[in-house]
Amino acid sequence: MTGYTIPPPPQASLAIAGSDQRFPVRRVYCVGRNYSRHVMEMNEGADPRDPPFFFQKPADAVVGDGATVPYPPLTDDLQHEVELVACIGTGGADIPVDRALDHVAFYGVGIDLTRRDLQFRAREKSWPWEMGKSFDHSAPIGPLTPADTAGHGVRGISLSVNGAVRQQSDTAHMTWSVAEIVAELSRQYRLEPGDIILTGTPEGVGALVPGDVVEARADGLAPLTLTIGDRT
């Protein structure tokens, strides 16, 4: 039997609330625009009905509850985007909307951390978004709750910084529902168990600085608390 030339990287994974088991992460998909008020705060003159689009973060960008996230390099504008996270337990391609929720096994609340200055620079130059979105530690996600427990109708979602509410919305304001997102994404990629989807952020995104304590909440799900550390 042949071995690896270097030690294989550890499997990225997320905690499950009230359980010793963990959810192994295969891919991290993100929805680019899914709440019209956030689309308008980011894009002057945009049509909020434009269809959402998808990008990815590396699986090992996930960090769990209680982490200290080092302030990332190359940016002066690290921003928070609170998002409902849907976790795929059963794979599939070309999944119909009316079966899509059967493929979601867990929900969590997460933050799509963004180097906004680098994202905007990439947008101006028609470069890919990776530098703005896909950096180390850029996907903090709280403990997951089984869909059987949470239900598929998680509604209220919020984020506070040092106790002050910054983002507060209702997933009913999403342009595309979780079922529609899963169905559309499964037309672009075959979804597999372990894939997770950050489903887009509502309005109220803003900057974080070292020392900030960030708390993300969604109704019926375990909260996520993290601290922004010093610049790396």
Residue 34 interacts with Mn ion (CB under 5 A): yes or no: no
Q: How, if at all, do strands 68-71 and 224-231 pair?
A: parallel
- Min CB(73)–Mn ion separation in Å: 20
Residues touching Mn ion, count (CB under 5 A): 3
Q: CB under 8 Å, gap of 24 or more: what pairs does 123-129 form?
A: 129/55
* Residue 167 or 201 having the CB closest to Mn ion: 201
Which single residue brings its beta carbon nearest to Mn ion? 112
Whether residue 230 contacts residue 132, with contact meaning beta carbons closer than 8 Å, is answered with no
Measured in residues, the chain has a length of 232
The one among 34, 52, 81, 226 contacting Mn ion by CB under 5 A: 81
Q: How far is residue 192's CA from residue 89's CA, in Å, rounded to a whole number?
A: 7
DSSP single-letter state for residue 211: T
Question: Least distance to Mn ion from the beta carbon of 70, Å?
Answer: 20
Task: Return phi, psi of residue 175, to 5°.
Answer: -65, -45
CB of 102 to Mn ion, least distance (A): 25
3-class DSSP assignment, residue 117: helix
Nearest CA-CA partner of 165 in 69, 80, 75: 80
Residue closer to Mn ion, measured from CB, 112 or 184: 112
Interatomic CA distance for residues 136 and 61, integer angstroms: 5
CB of 105 to Mn ion, least distance (A): 22
Choose one: 11-19, 79-87, 135-143, 186-194; the region binding Mn ion (CB under 5 A): 79-87
* Dihedral angle sign, alpha carbons of residues 73, 118, 31, 164: positive
Smallest distance from the beta carbon of 92 to Mn ion, in angstroms?
A: 24
Restricting to residues 104-123, name those near Mn ion by CB under 5 A: 112
Q: How far is the CB of 32 from Mn ion (least distance, A)?
A: 7
Q: Would you say 16 or 197 has its CB closer to Mn ion? A: 197
Site for Mn ion in 191-230 (CB under 5 A): 201
- Name the residues that contact Mn ion, by CB under 5 A: 81, 112, 201
